[in-house]
Amino acid sequence: MPTLFLDTHMWSYLVESKKYSDDQLRQARERLVEGVKRGDWEIVCSLPVLQEIIRVYRNDPQKYEAIKGLVFKTVGHRWLLDLKQRYVAELYNGGLLLPPGIYINREKRKQIERLANNKKDVIDVGDITYKEGLDFKAGQEDARKKVFADLGSADGKAPKKIAQAYEKWFANDRDLEGWVLNVLEGGVARKLFPAAKLKEFAPTEANSPSTWEYVDFRQAKVLLELGYGRAIKESDGIDADMYGCSPYYGILVTDDKGLRETASHVVNGKFELYGFEQLMQMLGIK
């Protein structure tokens, strides 16, 4: 049974899309729900994606209600633990988690449902998510300017031949294990687990799958944003979080060009990438 993860835009397109009629979208939503009930597929989601969906409320409350209803109806109990919770649990488990241990508990799920149905909470979460995205983008842009300045750029643009340098770094010199260990050491600093747990610990894709995929994606972003000068987006942090969820789904449904380009550097056949049209074909909508 395939496990799907839809990004925010895919949920939105299932409610409103210029390429499909209202009747086609209604059929698609019904078939998506029916397929989950029959066990043809299952759908997982993450709380950061829900935060993005909540932002829809401020501009279009009616659309938000439609998306929210579809999400909760199809995802059900399959809300993934957040990244920090996953990397702690994977560390103690020695690798991949199995259901139901990969999902948030019932009490937490009920709290999220109440929040998603409370107008004031929805507005607050939407505003916080928007600010977090702006802050993330500004921080990344400042960091890029500093790197370029350190490399001798006078105008804030990428110095010549920087792409080749980052291609070489990404292909041969990046310390993926070291970056993963740095993330895990941050867990020690936040007292998520004792330092003794990391003594002589060597992170691998097998024993730290979520952290490994998250860092792999972030390093690919470094290549694209610093080496190739790709635009830095407010949603880059959530994109990395979605990729960090990849050990727990088989199909990522997204039309986001930046996310797909980044994933093309690191996927290596670990999961399939679908676009919205492929999703509609899967649902028998033509």
pLDDT digits (tens, 9 = 90+) for 37-70: 999 999 999 999 999 999 998 889 999 999 999 9
In this prediction the pTM is 0.91
| pLDDT score recorded for residue 132 | 77
Q: What is the pLDDT of residue 163?
A: 81
At residue 139, does pLDDT exceed 80?
no
Q: Is the pLDDT of residue 147 over 80?
A: no
Q: Is the pLDDT of residue 205 over 90?
A: yes
Comparing 194 with 80, the larger pLDDT belongs to 80
| Mean pLDDT of the region 131-159 | 72
Count CB-CB contacts under 10 A for residue 16: 13
Both tokens of residue 8? Answer: 């925010």
Q: What is the pLDDT of residue 58?
A: 87
Above pLDDT 90, what percent of the chain? Answer: 62
The predicted pLDDT at position 154 comes to 61
**Dihedrals φ, ψ of 26, to 5°?**
-60, -45
Confidence of residue 169 (pLDDT cuts 50, 70, 90): confident
Q: Quick one: pLDDT band at residue 150, thresholds 50, 70, 90?
A: low
Please report the pLDDT score of residue 2 as a whole number. Answer: 96
